[in-house]
Amino acid sequence: MKQSILNPNNLQTFAKEHKLQPFRVKQIIQEIYDNQNIRFEDMTTLSKDLRQQLDENFEILSIIPETILESEDNIKIWFKTHDNFTIEAVILFHRSKHEKESIKSKVHKVESQNKWPDDLTTLWPDRPLNRITLCVSSQIGCPVNCVFCVTGKLGIKRDLTRNEIISQLLFANNFIKTKFGKKDDQTLRAVRNVVFMGMGEPLINYQNVKKSIEIMIAQAGGFSLGKRHITISTAGIIPGIEQLIKDDIPVKLAISLHAPNQKLREELMPIAKVYTLDKLMKTIDDYVKVSDNRIFYEYIMIKNKTDKPELATQLADLLHGRLAHVNLIPYNMNPAIKLEESDERTIRAFKDILEKKGITVTIRDSLGRDLKSACGQLWYEKIANRHCEE
């Protein structure tokens, strides 16, 4: 089995054995992270012999891309691990209002003429904006098992390694480069934001997530991402948040809150029985004191469950005086449970209550619904197939 070139020790050992000069090692690293190449044959700054030697000894990606689905605002990628599990990552394009209207106009035109192109991707802009987000997975499956989330229904298989996490970003950047080319200034397009909101609970896989973030923010031998452009989303794993405080990990923190009281939170998120709401909020307060970071609170809008006006009042009271921003997330379909999305009017009324009480709030766009890659939907196809078989 080939070694991973993402492990610095492997490359350094190879360089010593083959008497490579330091600048050659630097070139190899630049080809991977700066030039966004995931095949040695494409590394044209290196000699043909060196490329062949590298290919014989190393692999770049620790996971294998298997299937790619595209829509107007997202690209869903299935990867196969070496032990034959499947994980998913999602590239999200934050398109302008003008772009969205242009896409709708094109779709309406082909619908009226009933002349659908063979490649539907021709209906949306061939170049993304600079603001591209990658939603990465940190585990195979998820142990938290929130009621409204598809991923936890198949349980947890294992943690992803640092290299498996990094490989998702390497592939995404290469895919973006290949598909969209360079910007007008001739620099490469790349993922600008990384959110640990894919499969798994990142703070349970703390060490590998931490190591992957170190590479993401590294200026040399890394992706040079801004610290404020990485977000860890957690269901409220208190020991993980405490470790973030100790290690001073300089990224954004999003809390999957989803309920403003202990009883409802336990009903929706079994993990709340272990890490209670009062202890969670105290730990978050400690985190804010140290980091001075605004916390993003994710709140799912489920019809007749989480969208009642009295719950909005409770949420406002809970967050009063705290450095907080609430993201209201419309519930996304889950084949394993019968829940419904709150209607737009109810969501806006909920938002109004929060704002009147001084809480900043955003209603999140449900990017990825068409490919079942929106919040809480990763592994949707596996769960849907299992329910069909049953």
Strands 86-93 and 132-135: antiparallel
Higher pLDDT, 224 or 128: 224
Mean pLDDT computed over 355-383: 66
- State the angle between helix axes of 238-247 and 206-217 in degrees (0 to 180), rounded to the nearest 10: 40
pLDDT at 307 > cutoff 90: yes
pLDDT band at 364 (very low <50, low <70, confident <90, very high): confident
| H-helix or E-strand spanning residue 67 | strand 64-70
pLDDT at 374 > cutoff 60: no
Higher pLDDT, 1 or 197: 197
For position 182, what pLDDT does the model report?
85
Choose the catalytic residue: 135, 146, 149, 375: 375
For position 185, what pLDDT does the model report?
84
Q: Which residue matches tokens 């970003």?
A: 169
Choose the catalytic residue: 31, 88, 164, 341: 88
pLDDT at 380 > cutoff 80: no
Spatial separation of the C-alpha atoms in residues 113 and 245, rounded to whole Å: 58
Mean pLDDT computed over 175-191: 89
Structure pTM?
0.87
For position 386, what pLDDT does the model report?
46
CA distances from 229 to 32, 88, 192, 253 (A): 20, 20, 7, 11
Alpha carbon 71 to chain centroid, angstroms? 17
Spatial separation of the C-alpha atoms in residues 347 and 68, rounded to whole Å: 33
Spatial separation of the C-alpha atoms in residues 337 and 329, rounded to whole Å: 18
Higher pLDDT, 389 or 22: 22
For position 390, what pLDDT does the model report?
41
Could you read off the pLDDT of 48-81 as tens digits, one per residue?
999 999 999 999 999 999 999 888 778 999 999 9
Q: Is 88 a catalytic residue?
A: yes
For position 320, what pLDDT does the model report?
97
User: Domain residues of the chain, as ranges?
Assistant: 3-59, 64-94+129-389
pLDDT band at 82 (very low <50, low <70, confident <90, very high): very high
pLDDT band at 180 (very low <50, low <70, confident <90, very high): confident
Check whether domain 3-59 has CATH 1.10.150.530, yes or no: yes
Residue 296 in 3-state DSSP?
strand
pLDDT at 365 > cutoff 80: no
Per the CB < 8 A criterion, the answer to whether 231 and 169 are in contact is no
Q: Which residue matches tokens 């949420």?
A: 315
Q: Which residue matches tokens 């939907």?
A: 377
What are the tokens at 8? 């610095």
Contacts 24+ apart (CB under 8 A), 93-101: 93/128, 93/129, 93/132, 94/129, 94/131, 94/132, 94/133, 95/125, 95/128, 95/129, 96/129, 99/124, 99/125, 99/129, 100/72
Write down the mean pLDDT value for the chain.
88
For position 227, what pLDDT does the model report?
87
Mean pLDDT computed over 246-274: 96
pLDDT at 102 > cutoff 50: yes
pLDDT band at 369 (very low <50, low <70, confident <90, very high): very low
Spatial separation of the C-alpha atoms in residues 210 and 358, rounded to whole Å: 34
Could you read off the pLDDT of 264-305 as tens digits, one per residue?
999 999 999 999 999 999 999 999 999 999 999 999 999 999
Instruction: In the chain, count H helices and then E strands.
Output: 12, 14
Contacts 24+ apart (CB under 8 A), 270-277: 270/144, 270/145, 270/146, 271/144, 271/145, 271/146, 271/235, 271/236, 271/237, 272/236, 275/236, 275/237, 275/238
User: What kind of fold does domain 64-94+129-389 have according to CATH?
Assistant: TIM Barrel (3.20.20)
pLDDT at 384 > cutoff 70: no
Could you read off the pLDDT of 1-55 as tens digits, one per residue?
799 999 999 999 999 999 999 999 999 999 999 999 999 999 999 999 999 999 9
What share of the chain has pLDDT > 70, as a percent? Answer: 84
Q: Is 375 a catalytic residue?
A: yes
